Structure formats: C-alpha cells, structure tokens
Chain A
Amino acid sequence: MSETLRDLASTIRSKNAGPDNITFDIIFRDRGNFERVRDSGALSRASVAALYDIPDARIVNFNVIDAASAIKFTIRRLKPSGSPGESDVFGSQQYAPLFDVVIP
C-alpha cells in the first residue's frame, strides 16, 4: 500500500542553516518506516530537486543518516535570509511539499 511521507515520518522540518542555506530534516521514530523510505528511493537528491523544481546546483547536500533514522538535505537560498523581498526569514515553512511525497 502506498503511503505518503507525512504518514511515515515523525518529524518533517525546515530551518536556516546560516544565512545562505535552508536545511530540511526528516526523522523517523519507527525504524521500519525509515528503512522503507530509505529503500524506496522516493526521496533522493534528484527527487527533491524535482519536487521543489530547482536545479541540482542548489542542493548543497543530501544525506541518509542511518544512526539517527533520518534523511537530511540542504537547499541554497537565492538571496541571504532577511534580504529585501524575504518571505520566510527563519526558513521554517519550506517543508510542506514533502508531506505529499508518495512512498510505494
């Protein structure tokens, strides 16, 4: 049965990592859910770039962290946080599109 990331992860968040980056943490309380997402390939550097419709160059890194049952990636901002035109100075509301990622 396919479920979404929202059903499987216990934490899905985004936050500034310094003024130039926004970092995303997806953390699983349930080891089985983590392994299922990790092994599905539904979440990858390429799928994240496609989801946010950004070039690969803006993805600073993408890590699967087995020890923490977590997946983490970082996106470069187009302008530093708090510049004129800023809409999310803490970078704290950029994770919502991850909720609907379907995990086969």
Chain B
Amino acid sequence: MKRIRILCPTGHLSFTPMEKESFRIGCREKPDYIVADAGSCDMGPRPLGADTHVSLEAWQRHDLEAMLLAARELGVPMIVGSASDTGTDRGVDQFVGLIRDIARQHGLAPFRLAAIYAEIPVAELKRRRAGGAVIEGLDGRAPADEALLDRTTRAVAVMNAEPIAAALQAGADVVIAGRSSDCALFAAPLLVHGFSPAIAYYTGKLMECASFCAEPYMAKESILGEVAGEEVWLTPMHPGQRCTPASIAGHSMYERSDPFHEYVAGGVVDMTGCRYEQVGPRTTRASGAVFRADPVVRVKIEGAGLVGQRRLAVVGIRDPYTIGLIDDAIAWSRGKIVERFGPEGPESYEVFFHRYGDNGVMRDLEPRRNAAARELGLVVEAIAPEAKVAEEVAALAARNLFYARLPQVKGTAGTAAMMSDEILIGEPGYVWTLNHILPVRDALELFRTRMMTIDTATAKEPA
C-alpha cells in the first residue's frame, strides 16, 4: 500500500522561530513533503488591512531557510501557505524573495517554484456582487452589501487544495501560497497521490498546528504524519512529546466552533465517527473521517477595513477612594471629551478605557467586577479618522483622570499617576469587514499561479 510521509515543523511559520532539533529528527525519517502554514487571521485585522506582517523578517528567514535546505537536500517538495502572516500578494512576493536570497546564499541547484496569489481586489468583489453573486456572511453576519465593501481596504480569498495540487502537478519543488486553508496545504499532496479527500483534509486538520496535537504542551516542534489508505499515523519528533488518542481528539476540535465539522471550499470533513488508537508509545493512528462534497464551491473571503488613527496613554491609580469611584472618574473624563468633540461615534472619535486590574482582559465577559484592587492600570485608547483628534482625545482622557472631581477626594494634587506625559502613537485601527463566502464556478478561479525557476548560478529570473 502506498504510504506518504509529511513533516510539519511549525503551526505558524516564523511567529516565533521553529525548533530545529526536532525538525532535524523529522528529516531523518525521510518525509515525502515538508509543509507549514505561515499565517492566520488570529492576529486581528490590522496586518491584512495595512498589508504588513507581524512575524519578524529574521524569523521568517530562519524558518524558510531550515525548510528549504532540508527539502532540497532530501529532494522533496516544500509547501508554505498564507505567506507572511496574511497571505496577501505582498506576502507571497516577500517569501519568494527570501527563498531566492537563501538559495543564492547557499548556492542551491536550480529548482522550480510556484507562487500562488490569493488577494482579491475589492472592485472584483463589487463586480461579482453586481453580477448577481451573493457574498454570504459567516457566523451570523449579513450578506456583504456595497457599503461593507466600501469600508473594506483589502481582501484575500482563502484557497483550498486545488491550486496547490495543480502547482505540484506542474512540477513545483517549492510552493509559496497566499492565503490558504491550513488543512489544504497537507491535503494537496495527498490528493495528488490519489488519496481520498476525507483522509487528505483530515490529516491536514490534525497536523496543521504541528506539535499542538501532541502532549505535553509544546509549540514549534515537528510532527510527522504517515498516511496509508484511510488512516494517518501521527508521531511527534520531540522525544519528550507523545501523540495520544486524547491529544489528537482534543486537537481535532481546536480553533473551531463546531467540534465535528471542518468546512473547506467545496465540502465539509465530518469527524463525528473518528477513531483514535494508540499504536506505539508515542504514535496514535486516526481514521474515520468522512468528506461530503458541496454542489457549489464557496470560497472564504477575509477583508479588513481602516477605521482610524490610534493614540494611547497609560495611567495608574493607587488612591483607594478613586479606585472605588473609578466609574465616576471615567465619566468625568468622558464628559470633558464630549465638551470638546461632541458625542462619541465612529464618524468623530471613539475612546476606550482599558481597566487592567478590574476587567482589562475580559471586558464584557468578566463576571467578577469591582473586586477591590490595590491599584488599577488604565490604558486609554483613542481612535479617530484624524490623528490630531485621536491624540487630543487620548490626552483629554488621561489628563482628566488626573483632574477628576470626586466629592471627598483628599489627593488634591492629582487623582492619577501618569506613567509618562507622552501620548503614545499606535498603529492605525482596522476591523474585520469580511468574514464571508463567495460562490465560484471552480476552486481555481480566484487564484493566480506563477511558475519560475530559481537558478541562482545564472541569476535567471522567471522562466
């Protein structure tokens, strides 16, 4: 029976550097593919909206170098998805540039690279909508209308396995993909080898976060998956970890609201009947997934829109009287902002008082409010279309906590401690405008693939 081995060194390439020792152990197991996802929507909408990355470039280079050198030495394909955190066209180009640099630096023999682009212009979404396509909302969201698209700065389509499988079939040794469904990166090579979509996507789901499917908890360590028939054998490469039925079953529900179903463009993986069996001290075998194809392929679209400029100030309060009356002190502060800028709203300004020591972490979900704190840390976050307004709102908010008029106050030289007199400059604020799905004719149509030869000896560019 045909067996395919996939090595996954990290659950989010370069978010922090991968651990090289377990990766080296994994490479000795002679994997047929080395696969890692490099992005997520977990970091919030700003990286996509501002088209930037949150991983440090030195770490991107570190992880790509380890993967590329191992893949070329073993002579096996390497697949990276959601390049540079967001999977925009900039991210793909940046990763291709890094691959080229690393190849040059190490004098690697020529190899074929496929760059797959996933960005979708807002104008294209508008055109499709005008043409009758319904851009349906996920998670209770309304369908996208013109106004929502107008508020969207940048959008990416989330590719499924098909564009990656096509690149592998075209002979790619390295695939750098834009925004991708994590599990599709693993499913693509398995589909190319004729495995069923059920085991292909299921393997991807279990392996996508690397060592998170093993115990004890360790990040950035390698996992080896061996697929045969309708089963996958999962083994962690760190000697201190093991895959157990509990760790695999637990991971199968990770980061998804529905514990039994993983939706991809073109179908759903049903894990209701999955079985897990310990087959070695550190190896667990998983099986039993079912794939149901959708009659219509719907591609997920992620979009982020700019909402304004951000300024921040940090204020501490130690006076127990002020802490007890913190709601009144904040109300006073808000009042002074309203006097100057009128009522709060997205068109004018928004101001948030993060109350560390009270509900700074959980906000609306915090059940234990008003527990007596010894000190409170307030982070004032102001956001406005104009930076000058955001700065002024942050300054008014912070300084009026200092001047709060509370009836019995004894500390009449200042009711708050300023960490500094600065107003801190934050990155612009964005929101997730699109968490939607777009129906398409086929799973390839939104994605563009560029094949090239990386030949550093002759410095040849695209073939």
Contacts and interface: CB of A to CB of B under 8 A. Distances in A.
- Best-buried of A17, A65, A68, A96 by chain B (most CB within 10 Å): A68
A91 to B, nearest CB: 8
Given A51-B367, A82-B430, A67 B362 contact: no
Interface in A28-77: 29, 51-54, 60-61, 63, 65, 67-70, 72, 74-76
Contact of B259 (A72, A81, A82): A72
Given A79-B431, A87-B363, 16 more contacts: A18-B138, A19-B435, A29-B246, A65-B253, A65-B260, A68-B252, A72-B259, A75-B365, A76-B140, A78-B364, A81-B44, A82-B45, A84-B350, A84-B352, A85-B350, A87-B354
Contacts of B429: 83-84
B307 A84 contact: yes
B308 A84 contact: yes
Nearest to A97: B367
B409 interface: no
A90 B383 contact: no
Contacts of A80: 45, 431-432, 435
A63 B350 contact: no
Interface of A: 11, 15-21, 23, 25, 27, 29, 51-54, 60-61, 63, 65, 67-70, 72, 74-76, 78-90, 93-94, 96-97
Contacts of B381: 84-85
B257 A23 contact: yes
B344 to A, nearest CB: 11
Nearest to A72: B259
B238 interface: no
B250 A70 contact: yes
20 contacts: A18-B41, A18-B257, A19-B41, A25-B253, A51-B367, A52-B365, A54-B365, A60-B257, A68-B252, A68-B253, A68-B259, A79-B431, A81-B42, A81-B45, A82-B45, A83-B307, A84-B310, A87-B362, A93-B362, A97-B368
A94 B431 contact: no
A68 B258 CA distance: 14
A33 B255 CA distance: 24
B69 interface: no
A17 B365 contact: no
A18 B398 CA distance: 33
A87 B250 CA distance: 26
Given A20-B138, A51-B367, A74 B257 contact: yes
Contact of A70 (B46, B253, B274, B431): B253
Contacts of A86: 44
Contacts of A89: 42-44
Contacts of B274: 67
A81 B249 contact: no
A53 B365 CA distance: 7
B111 interface: no
A20 B435 contact: yes
B141 interface: yes
A10 B323 CA distance: 36
Contacts of B368: 97
Contact of B432 (A17, A81, A96): A81
Contacts of A72: 253, 259
Contacts of A69: 246, 249
Nearest to A65: B259
A80 B144 CA distance: 15
Nearest to B362: A94
A94 B361 CA distance: 8
B362 A21 contact: no
A23 B259 CA distance: 10
B335 interface: no
A32 to B, nearest CB: 14
B345 to A, nearest CB: 12
A78 B363 CA distance: 11
A17 to B, nearest CB: 4
Contacts of B41: 16, 18-19, 81
